[in-house]
Chains A and B, each alone.
Chain A
Amino acid sequence: MNRWTPRLLAACAGLWSMTGALAQQPPSRAMLEGLFPKGAPVCFARYYDAAHLKRHPAQSVTSVRLMRGFQQVRGDAERNPADAITIELIVTYRDSGARRFLGDAGCGPSLDNQITCYSSSCDGGSFPVKVEDADTILIGGAQGRSRFSVSGGCGDDGPGRSLGRSADDTVFRLTRMPISACR
Protein backbone atom coordinates (compact mmCIF):
# COMPACT_ATOMS: atom_id res chain seq x y z
CA MET A 1 0.00 0.00 0.00
CA ASN A 2 1.42 3.39 -0.87
CA ARG A 3 0.59 6.84 0.44
CA TRP A 4 -2.11 7.31 -2.21
CA THR A 5 -3.97 4.11 -1.40
CA PRO A 6 -6.15 5.45 1.46
CA ARG A 7 -7.25 8.35 -0.75
CA LEU A 8 -7.98 6.04 -3.67
CA LEU A 9 -9.90 3.71 -1.36
CA ALA A 10 -11.90 6.67 -0.11
CA ALA A 11 -12.61 7.74 -3.70
CA CYS A 12 -13.66 4.20 -4.64
CA ALA A 13 -15.81 4.04 -1.52
CA GLY A 14 -17.52 7.27 -2.49
CA LEU A 15 -18.22 6.01 -5.99
CA TRP A 16 -19.66 2.80 -4.56
CA SER A 17 -21.82 4.82 -2.23
CA MET A 18 -23.27 6.69 -5.21
CA THR A 19 -23.77 3.46 -7.15
CA GLY A 20 -25.51 1.89 -4.16
CA ALA A 21 -27.84 4.85 -3.79
CA LEU A 22 -28.74 4.75 -7.47
CA ALA A 23 -29.45 1.06 -7.40
CA GLN A 24 -31.49 1.34 -4.18
CA GLN A 25 -30.04 -1.62 -2.32
CA PRO A 26 -30.04 -4.34 -4.99
CA PRO A 27 -30.11 -7.98 -3.84
CA SER A 28 -26.37 -8.14 -4.40
CA ARG A 29 -25.93 -5.62 -1.55
CA ALA A 30 -27.52 -8.15 0.82
CA MET A 31 -25.37 -10.84 -0.75
CA LEU A 32 -22.31 -8.67 -0.16
CA GLU A 33 -23.18 -8.04 3.47
CA GLY A 34 -23.89 -11.74 3.96
CA LEU A 35 -20.50 -12.57 2.54
CA PHE A 36 -18.67 -9.91 4.54
CA PRO A 37 -20.62 -9.33 7.78
CA LYS A 38 -20.03 -5.96 9.39
CA GLY A 39 -17.13 -5.94 11.79
CA ALA A 40 -16.08 -9.52 11.08
CA PRO A 41 -12.78 -10.71 9.64
CA VAL A 42 -13.24 -13.04 6.67
CA CYS A 43 -10.96 -15.36 4.74
CA PHE A 44 -11.66 -17.25 1.53
CA ALA A 45 -8.69 -19.13 0.16
CA ARG A 46 -7.49 -21.77 -2.24
CA TYR A 47 -4.12 -23.47 -2.26
CA TYR A 48 -3.57 -25.57 -5.36
CA ASP A 49 -1.72 -28.81 -4.79
CA ALA A 50 0.95 -30.30 -7.03
CA ALA A 51 -1.51 -32.73 -8.65
CA HIS A 52 -3.87 -29.90 -9.66
CA LEU A 53 -1.02 -27.80 -11.06
CA LYS A 54 0.26 -30.80 -13.00
CA ARG A 55 -3.17 -31.21 -14.61
CA HIS A 56 -3.26 -27.46 -15.40
CA PRO A 57 0.14 -26.57 -16.85
CA ALA A 58 -1.21 -23.26 -18.20
CA GLN A 59 -2.19 -22.11 -14.71
CA SER A 60 0.40 -19.83 -13.15
CA VAL A 61 -1.49 -19.02 -9.93
CA THR A 62 -0.62 -21.40 -7.08
CA SER A 63 -2.75 -19.82 -4.34
CA VAL A 64 -5.38 -17.12 -3.91
CA ARG A 65 -6.41 -15.57 -0.59
CA LEU A 66 -9.26 -13.10 -0.35
CA MET A 67 -8.96 -11.55 3.07
CA ARG A 68 -10.78 -8.99 5.14
CA GLY A 69 -8.65 -8.58 8.23
CA PHE A 70 -8.31 -6.09 11.06
CA GLN A 71 -7.05 -3.25 8.86
CA GLN A 72 -9.95 -3.59 6.40
CA VAL A 73 -12.61 -3.99 9.12
CA ARG A 74 -11.29 -0.93 10.93
CA GLY A 75 -11.11 1.11 7.73
CA ASP A 76 -14.68 0.20 6.78
CA ALA A 77 -15.95 1.03 10.30
CA GLU A 78 -14.78 4.60 9.74
CA ARG A 79 -16.62 4.98 6.44
CA ASN A 80 -20.21 5.16 5.33
CA PRO A 81 -21.83 1.71 5.77
CA ALA A 82 -23.16 1.99 2.20
CA ASP A 83 -19.62 2.24 0.83
CA ALA A 84 -17.63 -0.55 -0.73
CA ILE A 85 -16.32 -3.29 1.52
CA THR A 86 -12.57 -3.39 1.38
CA ILE A 87 -10.59 -6.58 1.03
CA GLU A 88 -7.11 -7.61 0.04
CA LEU A 89 -6.26 -10.28 -2.46
CA ILE A 90 -3.02 -12.20 -1.96
CA VAL A 91 -1.81 -14.24 -4.91
CA THR A 92 1.21 -16.52 -5.32
CA TYR A 93 2.56 -17.79 -8.64
CA ARG A 94 4.33 -20.88 -9.89
CA ASP A 95 7.51 -18.98 -10.78
CA SER A 96 7.93 -16.97 -7.57
CA GLY A 97 7.55 -19.48 -4.75
CA ALA A 98 5.81 -18.20 -1.64
CA ARG A 99 6.28 -14.55 -2.55
CA ARG A 100 2.96 -12.82 -1.98
CA PHE A 101 1.58 -10.35 -4.49
CA LEU A 102 -1.10 -8.20 -3.00
CA GLY A 103 -3.88 -6.04 -4.35
CA ASP A 104 -6.28 -3.92 -2.30
CA ALA A 105 -9.83 -3.69 -3.57
CA GLY A 106 -13.23 -2.28 -2.78
CA CYS A 107 -16.13 -4.70 -3.37
CA GLY A 108 -19.69 -3.67 -3.99
CA PRO A 109 -22.82 -4.49 -5.94
CA SER A 110 -22.48 -3.97 -9.67
CA LEU A 111 -25.20 -2.96 -12.09
CA ASP A 112 -25.64 -6.55 -13.32
CA ASN A 113 -26.69 -7.49 -9.77
CA GLN A 114 -23.43 -9.22 -9.04
CA ILE A 115 -20.53 -8.37 -6.77
CA THR A 116 -17.48 -6.76 -8.31
CA CYS A 117 -14.20 -5.93 -6.60
CA TYR A 118 -12.34 -2.96 -8.05
CA SER A 119 -8.66 -2.38 -7.50
CA SER A 120 -7.78 0.57 -5.29
CA SER A 121 -4.73 1.12 -7.47
CA CYS A 122 -5.28 3.42 -10.45
CA ASP A 123 -6.41 1.46 -13.48
CA GLY A 124 -5.72 -1.76 -11.56
CA GLY A 125 -8.73 -3.59 -13.01
CA SER A 126 -11.38 -5.66 -11.28
CA PHE A 127 -12.77 -9.14 -10.80
CA PRO A 128 -16.30 -10.46 -10.31
CA VAL A 129 -17.33 -12.51 -7.27
CA LYS A 130 -20.03 -15.13 -7.53
CA VAL A 131 -21.43 -16.73 -4.39
CA GLU A 132 -21.75 -20.47 -4.88
CA ASP A 133 -22.89 -21.22 -1.33
CA ALA A 134 -22.34 -19.82 2.17
CA ASP A 135 -18.79 -21.10 2.26
CA THR A 136 -17.73 -20.99 -1.38
CA ILE A 137 -17.15 -18.18 -3.83
CA LEU A 138 -15.96 -18.06 -7.42
CA ILE A 139 -13.75 -15.17 -8.36
CA GLY A 140 -12.56 -14.21 -11.80
CA GLY A 141 -14.13 -14.01 -15.20
CA ALA A 142 -15.92 -16.99 -16.66
CA GLN A 143 -15.54 -15.34 -20.05
CA GLY A 144 -11.83 -14.82 -19.76
CA ARG A 145 -9.06 -13.77 -17.49
CA SER A 146 -9.64 -10.95 -15.04
CA ARG A 147 -7.23 -8.07 -15.20
CA PHE A 148 -6.67 -7.27 -11.55
CA SER A 149 -3.23 -5.95 -10.72
CA VAL A 150 -1.44 -7.37 -7.69
CA SER A 151 1.93 -5.93 -8.66
CA GLY A 152 3.42 -3.53 -11.18
CA GLY A 153 0.39 -1.26 -11.37
CA CYS A 154 0.72 2.48 -11.56
CA GLY A 155 3.29 3.75 -9.08
CA ASP A 156 4.40 0.21 -8.26
CA ASP A 157 7.92 -0.75 -9.24
CA GLY A 158 7.30 -4.47 -8.78
CA PRO A 159 6.96 -7.01 -11.59
CA GLY A 160 3.70 -6.86 -13.52
CA ARG A 161 1.30 -9.44 -12.10
CA SER A 162 -2.41 -9.88 -12.56
CA LEU A 163 -4.92 -12.34 -11.08
CA GLY A 164 -5.60 -13.51 -14.64
CA ARG A 165 -1.99 -13.90 -15.69
CA SER A 166 -1.91 -17.05 -17.83
CA ALA A 167 -4.37 -18.85 -20.08
CA ASP A 168 -5.72 -21.07 -17.30
CA ASP A 169 -5.92 -18.34 -14.64
CA THR A 170 -9.60 -17.72 -15.20
CA VAL A 171 -12.02 -18.69 -12.40
CA PHE A 172 -10.87 -19.57 -8.88
CA ARG A 173 -13.07 -21.42 -6.41
CA LEU A 174 -12.26 -20.25 -2.89
CA THR A 175 -13.59 -21.71 0.33
CA ARG A 176 -14.18 -20.03 3.67
CA MET A 177 -11.34 -20.66 6.09
CA PRO A 178 -10.15 -19.40 9.47
CA ILE A 179 -8.54 -15.98 9.18
CA SER A 180 -5.14 -17.47 9.97
CA ALA A 181 -5.34 -19.47 6.72
CA CYS A 182 -5.17 -16.20 4.77
CA ARG A 183 -1.77 -15.24 6.12
Chain B
Amino acid sequence: MDHGTLRPGQLASGLSALLLLTQMAGAQEVAEMKPIRAAFPIQQQGCFVRAYDASHLAANPNQSVRRIRLARLAPEQKREALDSPGAPTIGLRLLLRTRTSVSTEALDCEARYDGAAAAQPYLTCRSTCNRGSIDLTPLGPDSVRLTIGGVASGRFIPDAIGVGGTCALDTGVIWLGDREGDRSFLLARAGLEMCR
Protein backbone atom coordinates (compact mmCIF):
# COMPACT_ATOMS: atom_id res chain seq x y z
CA MET B 1 0.00 0.00 0.00
CA ASP B 2 1.26 3.44 -0.85
CA HIS B 3 1.10 5.43 2.39
CA GLY B 4 2.19 8.67 0.77
CA THR B 5 -0.78 9.06 -1.56
CA LEU B 6 -4.28 10.08 -0.55
CA ARG B 7 -6.98 8.34 -2.58
CA PRO B 8 -10.07 10.31 -3.69
CA GLY B 9 -12.26 8.27 -1.31
CA GLN B 10 -10.04 9.06 1.66
CA LEU B 11 -9.92 12.73 0.71
CA ALA B 12 -13.74 12.86 0.49
CA SER B 13 -14.09 11.15 3.90
CA GLY B 14 -11.62 13.57 5.44
CA LEU B 15 -13.40 16.58 4.00
CA SER B 16 -16.78 15.27 5.18
CA ALA B 17 -15.43 14.80 8.70
CA LEU B 18 -13.96 18.32 8.66
CA LEU B 19 -17.26 19.76 7.42
CA LEU B 20 -19.16 17.89 10.15
CA LEU B 21 -16.78 19.17 12.84
CA THR B 22 -17.14 22.73 11.53
CA GLN B 23 -20.94 22.42 11.54
CA MET B 24 -20.90 21.00 15.09
CA ALA B 25 -18.68 23.86 16.29
CA GLY B 26 -20.97 26.37 14.56
CA ALA B 27 -24.08 24.79 16.10
CA GLN B 28 -22.47 24.86 19.56
CA GLU B 29 -21.59 28.53 19.11
CA VAL B 30 -25.17 29.32 18.06
CA ALA B 31 -26.51 27.48 21.12
CA GLU B 32 -24.09 29.28 23.43
CA MET B 33 -25.04 32.65 21.94
CA LYS B 34 -28.74 32.00 22.52
CA PRO B 35 -29.05 33.59 25.99
CA ILE B 36 -26.98 36.54 24.82
CA ARG B 37 -29.06 37.00 21.69
CA ALA B 38 -32.26 36.75 23.74
CA ALA B 39 -31.19 39.84 25.69
CA PHE B 40 -29.44 41.55 22.77
CA PRO B 41 -31.21 40.47 19.55
CA ILE B 42 -29.44 41.06 16.27
CA GLN B 43 -30.09 44.54 14.85
CA GLN B 44 -32.41 45.53 17.68
CA GLN B 45 -31.99 48.51 19.92
CA GLY B 46 -32.32 48.05 23.64
CA CYS B 47 -32.12 49.68 27.05
CA PHE B 48 -31.48 48.20 30.51
CA VAL B 49 -31.84 50.27 33.65
CA ARG B 50 -31.43 50.12 37.42
CA ALA B 51 -32.18 53.07 39.65
CA TYR B 52 -31.85 53.14 43.43
CA ASP B 53 -34.03 55.19 45.71
CA ALA B 54 -32.96 57.22 48.71
CA SER B 55 -33.77 54.49 51.20
CA HIS B 56 -31.62 51.95 49.31
CA LEU B 57 -28.72 54.39 49.18
CA ALA B 58 -29.12 55.16 52.88
CA ALA B 59 -29.02 51.43 53.63
CA ASN B 60 -25.96 50.93 51.37
CA PRO B 61 -23.48 53.69 52.18
CA ASN B 62 -20.74 51.78 50.32
CA GLN B 63 -22.58 52.20 47.02
CA SER B 64 -21.97 55.32 44.98
CA VAL B 65 -24.24 54.48 42.03
CA ARG B 66 -27.69 56.09 41.99
CA ARG B 67 -28.64 55.00 38.47
CA ILE B 68 -26.96 52.80 35.89
CA ARG B 69 -28.13 52.26 32.32
CA LEU B 70 -26.95 50.30 29.30
CA ALA B 71 -28.00 51.71 25.94
CA ARG B 72 -27.87 49.98 22.58
CA LEU B 73 -29.04 52.67 20.18
CA ALA B 74 -28.08 53.83 16.68
CA PRO B 75 -24.41 54.76 17.42
CA GLU B 76 -23.81 51.37 19.06
CA GLN B 77 -25.47 49.52 16.16
CA LYS B 78 -23.24 51.47 13.80
CA ARG B 79 -20.14 50.17 15.59
CA GLU B 80 -21.49 46.61 15.45
CA ALA B 81 -22.05 46.93 11.70
CA LEU B 82 -18.47 47.96 10.89
CA ASP B 83 -16.95 45.67 8.30
CA SER B 84 -13.86 45.05 10.39
CA PRO B 85 -12.55 42.37 12.76
CA GLY B 86 -12.42 45.24 15.30
CA ALA B 87 -16.20 45.57 15.26
CA PRO B 88 -17.80 44.47 18.55
CA THR B 89 -20.32 41.63 18.69
CA ILE B 90 -22.47 44.00 20.73
CA GLY B 91 -21.91 47.72 21.21
CA LEU B 92 -23.24 49.44 24.31
CA ARG B 93 -23.08 52.76 26.12
CA LEU B 94 -22.85 52.80 29.89
CA LEU B 95 -24.65 55.78 31.41
CA LEU B 96 -23.83 56.36 35.04
CA ARG B 97 -25.20 58.63 37.71
CA THR B 98 -23.40 58.45 41.03
CA ARG B 99 -24.17 60.34 44.22
CA THR B 100 -22.03 63.19 42.90
CA SER B 101 -21.61 62.93 39.13
CA VAL B 102 -22.98 61.95 35.73
CA SER B 103 -20.83 60.26 33.07
CA THR B 104 -20.91 57.83 30.14
CA GLU B 105 -18.58 55.37 28.45
CA ALA B 106 -18.82 53.45 25.15
CA LEU B 107 -18.31 49.70 25.49
CA ASP B 108 -17.35 47.02 22.97
CA CYS B 109 -18.61 43.59 24.02
CA GLU B 110 -17.55 40.08 23.06
CA ALA B 111 -19.20 36.81 24.04
CA ARG B 112 -17.35 34.44 26.36
CA TYR B 113 -18.07 30.82 27.09
CA ASP B 114 -15.99 29.24 29.82
CA GLY B 115 -17.53 25.80 29.70
CA ALA B 116 -17.65 24.40 33.22
CA ALA B 117 -16.08 27.55 34.66
CA ALA B 118 -19.18 29.67 34.04
CA ALA B 119 -22.79 28.65 34.55
CA GLN B 120 -23.85 30.54 31.45
CA PRO B 121 -22.37 32.55 28.60
CA TYR B 122 -21.62 36.18 29.29
CA LEU B 123 -20.27 39.27 27.63
CA THR B 124 -17.03 40.98 28.47
CA CYS B 125 -17.41 44.65 27.59
CA ARG B 126 -14.29 46.74 27.31
CA SER B 127 -14.20 50.53 27.49
CA THR B 128 -13.45 51.89 24.02
CA CYS B 129 -11.02 54.27 25.76
CA ASN B 130 -9.16 51.19 27.09
CA ARG B 131 -10.09 51.99 30.67
CA GLY B 132 -11.01 48.53 31.92
CA SER B 133 -14.03 46.30 31.46
CA ILE B 134 -17.21 44.86 32.91
CA ASP B 135 -18.99 41.52 32.53
CA LEU B 136 -22.63 41.21 31.53
CA THR B 137 -24.53 38.01 32.17
CA PRO B 138 -27.98 37.77 30.58
CA LEU B 139 -30.49 36.33 33.06
CA GLY B 140 -33.27 36.12 30.47
CA PRO B 141 -34.45 38.36 27.65
CA ASP B 142 -35.30 41.23 30.01
CA SER B 143 -32.60 41.15 32.65
CA VAL B 144 -28.80 41.33 32.82
CA ARG B 145 -26.32 41.20 35.67
CA LEU B 146 -23.46 43.68 35.43
CA THR B 147 -20.36 42.74 37.41
CA ILE B 148 -16.95 44.34 37.89
CA GLY B 149 -14.17 42.00 38.98
CA GLY B 150 -14.89 38.46 40.11
CA VAL B 151 -13.53 35.15 41.26
CA ALA B 152 -10.49 33.68 39.52
CA SER B 153 -8.14 30.99 40.80
CA GLY B 154 -10.31 30.65 43.90
CA ARG B 155 -10.30 34.22 45.13
CA PHE B 156 -12.04 37.49 44.41
CA ILE B 157 -10.03 39.83 42.24
CA PRO B 158 -11.27 43.41 42.16
CA ASP B 159 -11.39 45.37 38.94
CA ALA B 160 -12.59 48.80 37.85
CA ILE B 161 -13.83 50.54 34.75
CA GLY B 162 -13.23 54.19 33.95
CA VAL B 163 -16.37 56.06 32.94
CA GLY B 164 -16.53 59.57 31.53
CA GLY B 165 -14.41 62.29 30.02
CA THR B 166 -12.76 61.81 26.65
CA CYS B 167 -10.22 59.19 25.65
CA ALA B 168 -7.49 61.85 25.44
CA LEU B 169 -8.00 63.13 28.99
CA ASP B 170 -7.97 61.34 32.33
CA THR B 171 -9.72 64.20 34.08
CA GLY B 172 -13.39 63.66 34.87
CA VAL B 173 -13.12 59.87 34.83
CA ILE B 174 -15.07 57.96 37.49
CA TRP B 175 -13.55 54.58 38.37
CA LEU B 176 -16.40 52.23 39.10
CA GLY B 177 -15.68 49.05 41.04
CA ASP B 178 -13.42 50.28 43.81
CA ARG B 179 -16.20 50.36 46.37
CA GLU B 180 -17.72 47.05 47.40
CA GLY B 181 -21.21 48.37 46.79
CA ASP B 182 -20.37 49.19 43.16
CA ARG B 183 -19.43 45.74 41.89
CA SER B 184 -22.71 44.05 40.97
CA PHE B 185 -25.93 45.44 39.54
CA LEU B 186 -29.11 43.82 38.30
CA LEU B 187 -30.57 45.74 35.37
CA ALA B 188 -34.03 45.30 33.82
CA ARG B 189 -35.14 46.06 30.29
CA ALA B 190 -36.80 49.43 29.88
CA GLY B 191 -38.24 51.49 27.04
CA LEU B 192 -35.68 53.05 24.71
CA GLU B 193 -36.70 56.52 25.90
CA MET B 194 -35.17 55.65 29.29
CA CYS B 195 -31.74 55.48 27.65
CA ARG B 196 -31.97 58.64 25.58
Partners in one complex: yes
- Tell whether B130 is near chain A: CB-to-CB under 8 Å: yes
Cβ–Cβ contact A155 & B84, under 8 A:
yes
Q: How many A-B Cβ pairs are below 8 Å?
A: 85
Say whether A123 faces chain B, with CB atoms less than 8 Å apart.
no
Contact A71 B124 (CB under 8 A): yes
Q: How many of chain B's residues touch chain A, expressed as a range? A: 35 or more
Partner of B86, one of A78, A102, A157: A157
Q: Which one of B108, B152, B167, B178 contacts A70 once the chains associate, using CB atoms below 8 Å?
A: B152
Known contacts A3-B89, A156-B86; is A99 also within 8 Å of B167 by CB?
Answer: yes
- Is A99 a contact partner of B129 (Cβ separation < 8 A)? yes
Bound-state Cα–Cα, A170 to B84, Å: 31
Q: B162 within 8 Å of A by Cβ? A: yes
Of residues 91 through 143 on chain A, the ones whose CB sits less than 8 Å from some CB of chain B are: 96-102
Residues of A within 8 A of B167 (CB): 98-100
A2 touching B154 by the CB < 8 A rule? no
Given contacts A38-B153, A70-B158, contact A157 B84 (CB under 8 A): yes
Residue A4, interface by CB 8 Å: yes
Give the contacting residue for A183; candidates B149, B150, B175; CB below 8 A.
B175
Compute how far the CA of A99 lies from the CA of B165 in the bound complex, rounded to whole angstroms.
11
Secondary structure of the A side of the interface?
loop
Complex: how many Å from CA A77 to CA B155?
A: 11
How many residues of chain A are within 8 Å of chain B by beta carbon? 31
B155 in contact with A39 (CB, 8 Å): yes
Known interface pairs A38-B153, A73-B152, A97-B168; A90-B86 also in contact (CB < 8 Å): no
Given A1-B126, A97-B169, is A78 in contact with B159 using a C-beta cutoff of 8 Å? no
Q: Is the Cβ of A39 less than 8 Å from the Cβ of B153? A: yes
Nearest A residue (CB) for B148: A70
Q: Would you call B87 an interface residue if the criterion is a C-beta within 8 Å of the partner chain's C-beta atoms?
A: yes
Answer whether A101 and B130 are a contact pair too, CB < 8 Å, given A70-B152, A73-B153. yes
A26 within 8 A of B: no
0 or 1 for each of B154-189: is its CB under 8 Å from A? (1 = yes) = 110111101000011110000100100000000000
Say yes or no: A70 contacts B157, CB within 8 Å: yes
CA distance A74 to B175 in the complex (A): 21
Which residue of A is nearest B169, CB measured?
Answer: A98
Known: A2-B85, A155-B84. A183 touches B153 (CB 8 A): no
With A155-B84, A183-B131: A98-B170 Cβ-Cβ less than 8 Å: yes
In the complex, given contacts A41-B157, A183-B175, what are 4 additional A-B residue pairs having Cβ atoms less than 8 angstroms apart? Answer: A5-B110, A70-B152, A73-B157, A156-B84
Please list the 6 inter-chain residue pairs (A to B) with the smallest Cβ-Cβ separation, ordered nearest first: A39-B153, A155-B85, A74-B152, A70-B159, A100-B130, A97-B168
